[in-house]
Amino acid sequence: MATLLTRRLLLRGALGAAALPFGPAMSRPAVPKANTEAPLREGTPISRPAVPKANTEAPLREGTPMSAAADLNSAGSRIALVIGNGAYRTAPLKNPPGDASAVAAVLRGLGYDVTLRQNTRLPDLIESLREFSVRAPKAAVRVLFYAGHGVQVRGRNYLVPIDADPQSEEDIQRQTADVGEFVDRLSAIGTGANIVVLDACRVNPFAGGVIVGPDGRRLKFRGATPGGLATLDAPVGTLVAFSTAPNGVALDSANSEHSVYVRHLLVNMSMPGLQIEQLFKRVRIGVAEDTGRVQVPWESSSLTADFCFKSNDKGRCG
């Protein structure tokens, strides 16, 4: 019981809807109000009030074309957290660690400040998400890529660390990380862009296991029960990409270095000027063709400005 309470406190303390302390770094950046009562300096004509200098470091506001924002082209303004979990005690996965390494390498080559985590246990997973959330308000572009097991419970999506061993439905929520809560933290920043890519819709690692439901009934996971991840609506300024459609199951490629989804993602990420909506359309077409439409990627987007991983020779998208 002490272990479960500790894990529950870890999860809630890092990602809980009410418990996560934003602190100064996590609060929504305040836009300074104009000081209409500031005294004029000596020598300034009364009829010509001083005009404040433009703040070139002001955070990107919603609606600002991202391709035209200078701070989006600097490495310091773009951060990424890349996670690949494969060494599960139950239902191990071959591709995720290598998928994460490859995606991290591409992002670094494009100027992103990348944090790579592989085969994370629950404390490591929670801490990685917490650290990223603390850094996020200072970045104009924030990318999360996750490859590994993911499950849904009652319409909520959870990322599964390699040490998860749930014995009940409640255990799943205690021993995993809630994706929706993390996305909400990013969207609360209110500026820039959040890109969340989840290659996590694989078969439920707890399939066939007996769990105890909240009413005490003994239940069995069958398949992905329900399959894959649930729909996650992207808040404003956010794009969420799934490696397959809601309630569908993604494929791990036993005979390939990377999953079919990541193979197509890697091919398109470095295309100069390729807008992200077109990028994922290409990925969707390629994956659907390669799998005979068994796996069809899906996205939810509320981006309000243009975004591409790599700008064209004019520094723009498109």
Alpha-carbon distance of 112 to 115, in angstroms, equals 9
List of E strands, 190-284: 193-199, 210-212, 218-220, 238-242
Alpha-carbon distance of 77 to 104, in angstroms, equals 16
What pLDDT sits at residue 165?
87
DSSP string, 73-105: GSGGGEEEEEEE----SSS--SSHHHHHHHHHH
What pLDDT sits at residue 294?
84
Helix (H) or strand (E) holding 38: none
What pLDDT sits at residue 318?
82
Residue 275 φ/ψ, nearest 5 degrees: -65, 145
Q: pTM for the whole thing?
A: 0.72
Residues of the chain under the 50 pLDDT cut: 1-14, 16-32, 34-40, 42-71, 73-75, 209-226
What pLDDT sits at residue 69?
42
Of 118, 29, 110, nearest to 81 by C-alpha is: 118
What pLDDT sits at residue 55?
43
What pLDDT sits at residue 19?
37
CB burial of residue 239 (10 Å; 0-12, 13-18, 19+): buried
DSSP string, 23-34: HHHHSPPPPPPP
Alpha-carbon distance of 72 to 277, in angstroms, equals 18
Alpha-carbon distance of 182 to 39, in angstroms, equals 44
Q: Please report, for the chain, the start and end positions of each structural domain, with discontinuous segments joined by +.
A: 65-301
Is domain 65-301 annotated with CATH 3.40.50.1970? no
